[in-house]
Amino acid sequence: MRAVDVIDKKRRGEALAEEELRFLIEGYVAGRIPDYQMSAFLMAVVWRGMTREETLALTRLLADSGERLDLSGIPGVKVDKHSTGGVGDKATLVVLPLVASIGVPVIKMSGRGLGHTGGTIDKLESIPGFRTNLSVAELVAQVRQVGIALGGQTADLAPADKKLYALRDVTGTVESLPLIASSVMSKKLAGGADAIVLDVKVGDGAFMKSRSDARRLARLMVEIGEAAGRRTVAVLSNMDQPLGCAIGNALEVAEAIRVLSGEGPFDLAEIALALAEEMTVLAGVAATREEARRMLRQSVAEGRALETLRRWIAAQGGDPAVVDDPSRLPQAPVQMPYLPKKAGFVAKLPALAFGLAAMRLGAGRETKDAAIDPSVGIVLHAKVGDRVQTHRPMFTVHARTEEDALRCIREIEEVMEISDDPVEAPPLILARID
Ligand code: URA
């Protein structure tokens, strides 16, 4: 077999056999196939697409390129949760202790943030002492002990995807539904969970800008999961404005604590409950989503969800006292409130611009190896549809310097919109696909 013939075949729009895909993927990982041939192949896929069978085969090949975690030592149905990424998306920090508090075992591998989207690992590391570099054996032992564990993605989890994704990132070949779906799902399948709940974000601050693309991606990922024998459900949710009110690592941890205490912004609480109830049903801990919701709400009301968060933080070496005193989290030296220039109704808070503004404050990374500052970010005091007045802060910037805070305010002022007329709050959950 020659790589050029396989590339040619895809360029002509023909479907490839699993053996041809294997030849390319294994050859690429082993260094036999150079970047330029793989780039040409990826571009052909972007233009020509892939059949369902090709996409399933590619997912399997990526998942099998490294170790597949064996979670059979953990009793119960293990359910993973994955978000395609957004701004202010700290749902994992709420959902994991929430479901664990009612007996759903939780083990998860998460990533760091890049660009305008944050990463769960960065958020958790803002808790003093919190360790995320746990080995798989440590993660499994911790789940058996306290019911919940989260670690960074090991280098051996779908390494072919890691290499391919880095190449896609610099060759304009990220935006392809079969490539995205196989990339995400290969890591989920290798992660070993029995069932998977996907939060597919759609809108300004998300990968998928249109609802129809997001729906197609969600369907494809659900199909891949089910074909691999994993029960998979996807929720489509709005990412036109940041999720919740906080953007920035320690600020997001503090907000997650508030939601687990039964306070906190409605949208974050709502998406967390929606995802948590799917996980609870898939785990077989509740028979219906309604029953799951009742159990989850009760756990919050009785303080069990918050207690699970304390135990989780302590188990991973973090300071559990942050749960009762969030001022123990890193605090930015400058906190600058923004008073709107006119009163009215918030019409636009573009998520992407907020994500980029927070990144430039130091909350995120422009490049893969950049350092982040856990204390900085933005806290919204009003969301789309809310009324604002000129004497009340609309948001507060947490920054290292006054100059940084002023620049952030200028960036946001340019993109946000306040309307004289009432604005309806946008729907949060757009669809459910199973
Ligand atoms: N996230 C992934 O893991 N892979 C993609 O291709 C896109 C987003």
Domain ranges of the chain: 3-49, 79-323, 331-419
Q: What CATH topology corresponds to 3-49?
A: 1.20.970
**What is the distance between the alpha carbons of residues 125 and 139, in angstroms, rounded to a whole number?**
16
The position carrying tokens 């919109």 is 417
> Considering the domain 79-323 in this protein, what is its CATH number?
3.40.1030.10
H or E stretch including 202?
strand 195-202
The position carrying tokens 């700290």 is 90
Which tokens go with 42? 């990826």
SS3 247: strand
The position carrying tokens 């760091």 is 112
Which tokens go with 68? 């597949």
**pLDDT value at residue 371:** 85
The position carrying tokens 């943030």 is 113
Q: What is the whole-number distance in angstroms between the Cα of residue 180 and the centre of ligand 1? A: 5
Half-sphere exposure of residue 369: CA atoms within 13 angstroms, side-chain side: 0
Q: Kindly report the pTM of this predicted structure.
A: 0.94
DSSP state of 390: T
Please give the CATH superfamily to which domain 331-419 belongs. Answer: Pyrimidine nucleoside phosphorylase-like, C-terminal domain (3.90.1170.30)
Annotated catalytic residues are 82, 161, 168, 183, 187
**Amino acid residing at 279:** M
| 183 pocket-lining for ligand 1 (C-beta < 6 Å) | yes
**pLDDT value at residue 156:** 85
Q: What is the whole-number distance in angstroms between the Cα of residue 191 and the centre of ligand 1? A: 15
Residue closest via CA to ligand 1's atom 2 equals: 184
Look up the ipTM and state it.
Answer: 0.96
Contact 399, 338 (CB under 8 A): no
- 292-295 long-range contacts, Cβ below 8 Å, gap at least 24? 295/102
The position carrying tokens 């896609």 is 168
Q: Using one digit for the tens of pLDDT, what is the confidence trace for 20-45?
A: 999 999 999 999 999 999 999 999 99
Percentages helix, strand, coil for the chain (3-state, rounded to 5) are 45, 15, 40
What tens-digit pLDDT sequence spans the chain (434 residues)? Answer: 999 999 999 999 999 999 999 999 999 999 999 999 999 999 999 999 999 999 999 999 999 999 898 899 899 999 999 999 899 999 999 999 999 999 999 999 887 776 777 789 999 999 999 999 998 899 999 999 999 999 988 778 899 998 998 899 889 898 899 999 999 999 999 999 999 999 999 999 998 999 999 999 999 999 999 999 999 999 999 999 999 999 999 999 999 999 999 998 999 999 999 999 999 999 999 999 999 999 999 999 999 999 999 999 999 999 999 999 999 999 999 999 999 999 999 999 999 999 999 999 999 887 777 789 999 999 999 999 999 999 999 999 999 999 999 999 999 999 999 999 999 999 999 999 99
**What is the distance between the alpha carbons of residues 30 and 199, in angstroms, rounded to a whole number?**
33
**pLDDT value at residue 119:** 87
| 142 pocket-lining for ligand 1 (C-beta < 6 Å) | no
**What is the distance between the alpha carbons of residues 209 and 229, in angstroms, rounded to a whole number?**
30
CA angle 244/250/251 to nearest 5° reads 35
**What is the distance between the alpha carbons of residues 99 and 86, in angstroms, rounded to a whole number?**
22
**What is the distance between the alpha carbons of residues 74 and 140, in angstroms, rounded to a whole number?**
7
**What is the distance between the alpha carbons of residues 354 and 378, in angstroms, rounded to a whole number?**
8
